[in-house]
Every structure is written in C-alpha cells, then in structure tokens.
Chains A and B, each alone.
Chain A
C-alpha cells in the first residue's frame, strides 16, 4: 500500500508503521510546538532502546519531567551544566569496562551547554575521541530560564538580555567549524523539518565510532516569538533561506551539503516570520543576506569558508 505519494519516506519506508515504536512519553513538560521535544522523539526512534541519554542543564532537563516522572523510555542521567560530554565519555568507558559495547551514549544538550558553558568539556571529549554522540539541539538562547542570549543567538535577535536585538558586531559561533577542528568521527547539521535527512544523519552517527557531533536546529515558539503551529514552517525556512545549511562531514573531512532546497528564499522572509527579529534593520538584513550568499550552499564554497 502506498499511502505516501512524495512525502517523507519514513526511514526508508513508505509507511509510518515502520517507525511506530515510541521511546518518548506524552505529558512531558515541553512548551506547545517545541522543536526540541520533536527532535528527541525522532532521535530516539533511530537510536533505539539501547541508548543512555546524558543531559546537562537545558530545556530538556525540564521537559524530561520532575522526580518521580520521566519522559524517556531509556535511561537518562542529569549532569551539571559544564560536564555533560565528560560524563557521557565516562559512562561509555564504564560500559566498555563491563564489556557492554552496544549501547549508544547520547549527550543531549542545548546551545547554552554547548556553545558557552560546556565547550571545554566537549573539546576534551572530542580530543579523547570518546565514543559518544553529542547532539546540540540549538534553539538559539537560554530558553528555559527565560530566554537569555547565548553565543548561539544570532545577531539581531531579541532576548530578555538583548532587548533591542543582539549586537550585530557579535556573530553566532560557528560550532561546526569549532568541532571540525577536533577531527570528529562524524559531524553534521540537521533539523527534523527535513526528516529524511535527519534520519539518515542519526543513522550514520549511530553506526560511526568515536566522537560524533550533530548540530540540530530546534525551533522555540516562545523564544522565537512565533506561533506554535508555525514552528516547522519557520525551521524549514531557516534551511531554505540558507541561514541553516544542512551539511555533513564527508570522508575527506570536508563539509558537504546534503539537502539542496528546491527553492531558495530570501533571508528576510525567514527573519520576518519571527517576532524576535522585529527590530532588525534593512541594512542588517542586507548584511545577513550577503553573508549567506557568500557561503551559499555549494560544497566548494562551504569548504572555502571552513577550510
């Protein structure tokens, strides 16, 4: 039966039933329309029940539910803010010491715990080639504490600590370039708004060995000031405008684009769809567009930028 003309193949199958098994529970504490919740749900569908999640302070530390509840059907270890990568490495080595080599150890951290507070721990884990998957679900600010700016917040974006928009002199850190410099075993950007690509990349991350890093853009309706039903649409626009290109590290170590959007849209469309960019000026949009155009999408250009 072909129910799915043209729409996502559901993990290589034309039928949703192929991935029907859930490892996430309803009743979690995520806000309506939360992109991070949706991303976790599907990440676990790929990684399967033999997964241990290690999580620093982040939205998901709340979403997972308070004692005695948990939103995940796999073990989840909460850690202090700065040490998620280090703890995950430790868990993996402890498992290995017991002869358990099958279980995937997944660090699931927000942008604050990755771009800012956890960065040294990630760097160390990457240096030691700890055999873990590190997922940064990036909603571009400290959202659960009330939307404070992080170094993943894009310039021009409103947060409670950047009430007139983040200063345009300060760019969003290029986390892929930072991790790439550590020679990880696998590196990619993904978003659940492009589900086939998302599934393929988590699949690759699951089978690779060594330090693996996935940068997942996750819409935050409250923090981005968008309607909850628009979360997917806006995330797609991030990809289609080139603001968040979907790339992965090829065998030669270079980043290559994995999804070429059928139709490229102006950066302005992406920005104007979100309330957090309401104070951005026309000149700033133009600068942003130029920056995107410079790296737009051809692998050669991305390599030039990162190489």
Chain B
C-alpha cells in the first residue's frame, strides 16, 4: 500500500474503506440513506449539536469514563501492566449508549418520532430504549427469540423503559435475523422512523457515524493514559462482534503508529470446530446487511449460523473498517474461546472486584494471555466495554447453578 504515509481519512465519499463498506441495499432504502447522510453531515458541522452531544455524554452517561490500573491482576499474571477503560461504568452499563444518544439526537433533528433498533445481547436495545424514553420517542426493538431466552433481564429492562420488544423467529433467531427484521420495518415505515444501528456495520453512513459517536472512548484514552501510565499504551485490546467498541477505542489511535491494535473475536468452541463467530479470522469477503466485509459463509455464499457464549459477539459479519484495518495490517485480529472468556470473567470478578460482560471478557482473556509474555514495563489498555450483570444467568448455567 503506497498510501501508508498519507493521513488516514476513510471512508471515502461513497462510504468505502478500500473494497469494503458501501451502500448495498435495495433501492427503496437509498433515499433514506441519502437523507441520513446529509442530515449527519449538517449536524456534525453544527456546534450546537456537538455541544449538546458532549453535554449528554457528561451529564446523562457519566463521561468521561475512568481508566483503572488492574494492578493486582497484572501482578498475578506476572508481566505487562493491564489498564481498563471503564465503559462498564456508563449509564446502562456499556459503551452502546454513546452511539444511541448521538443517533437519537439526529432522529429528533430530522423530525422522526419513532426509533427502531436491533439487539443481540440486549445492551444496544436497552441503550436505545433508554434514550427513547428520555426524548419521548416511540421505540421498537427487534431481538432474536434465542437471544431473548439468553438475555431475559435485558428484555425486561427494555419493557420497563417503554419499548416494544419484537421476537424474531426467522433464520438462526439471533442478531443477524434481528437486523434483517429491523431493515424490513425501516423500509416499510421510512417516513416517520429512524433506524438506530448499534454497531459499525450496515450501509454507509452507519459504519462511519457509529464510529464517530464511539470515538469518544479512544479520544478520552489518549488524554487519560499519560496521567495514568505516563504514556500511551503499547497495545490497545478490544472485543469485536460487529466491532463498535473496538472501532471507538481504535480509531483515535490509528495515527499513533507505535500502538498495536488488537481485536478479539469469539472463537466459540474453537475455530477448528466451526462453532464460532470469528468472521475476520475465518471468514471471506462478501455482501450482507448493506456493506461488503468479511463474512462467515458457506461455499454457495449462504450466511452460516455462528456460535458464541456471548450474544453480543454472535454475528457472522463485522464492521467494514475492521476488514480494511486487517487487510492493511494496521490492526490484528485474534480469537478467544468461550472457555477462555469465562476464565477471564471469573478472574476479573475475584481479583479486581469487577464483573465484566462476557463480550468484554474476550478482550480480557487475550490480555491475560499476552501480559505474561511481556515485561512489566509494557502497557496494555483493554476496553472493558460493558458490565456483566446481564450475563449472570449464562455464567451460572455454565457453572451448573440454578437460581
């Protein structure tokens, strides 16, 4: 790539990150996406919009989220120092709300009274239901019936917040099917409805817009790390399903070329078993959900069912910018199995008194593998993207405990 020295400024005007991204949707959605792109461009350059977003992040979400030095765990692992970006301390318990607020503000600005969302683990659904309640908007959340079973507590939270949760029974009954159904709702109700996509995937401008709203995570880290560790980290580690928390922390670090960016995918029962959700590690480029990216698919181009202990990573695609960062070797992508993630989950509970989300536990597990191989003056920054309260049921079940 001869562009290695040019400043990173993707996507291009058509939403492309190299060969990835784009606007692969039916004609019916094109005008709505054009309207959204123009509204977003206008909002971005409006200081009042930017100021309101910052105000909301500070006073409603509780930002900036702290960085915490996990000294005891680092000591026990015996190597590099692990720092945690505490997105789990945000209102609603995960990074998802950063983006939901941004898009709901945009919906209000565009005069759309109804918002819809897809959700896997339920964190994006909860964040969107929360913001919809706050702004007095109608909210419909699509969720695979398999995920509804796995994440009952979050389903109840959404209902408490006034949202309608629609179970999706088609396909594998998980996140990808919820996304299909939300798209169908949007195309049918395009006049009054804003689709709040929760990850850095989908048709342009979503991957860019969600990244921009989540980039607050990385921007804060760049300010906080010198105070916390005396310098920027050697590694930034984040879990990747669709990839929004990872993109949020990676993006501001792309130009910091000495910082290694590591995305951790769900290797499920192991990549070799075929039961996983590691699209960048084991997938091939293709087109799904409005963008070209790495996909888990069979030889005939049919999307295959994925597996992960964490509903939030159980997705056969990945944001197109991650696909590009992988191809240009700016970020590396690795896999962590269900068992490894569970171990990290328990370790963080016991050694640091923090209950992490199962999604974030994948990033923690990779940090725990990497730290002992490095000297104690190395610095790892892990995005602790959410808290694990929602996962009590799953973890207890794995340990053979019934409530």
Q: Do A and B come from one complex?
A: no
- A residues adjacent to B (C-beta < 8 A): none
- B residues adjacent to A (C-beta < 8 A): none
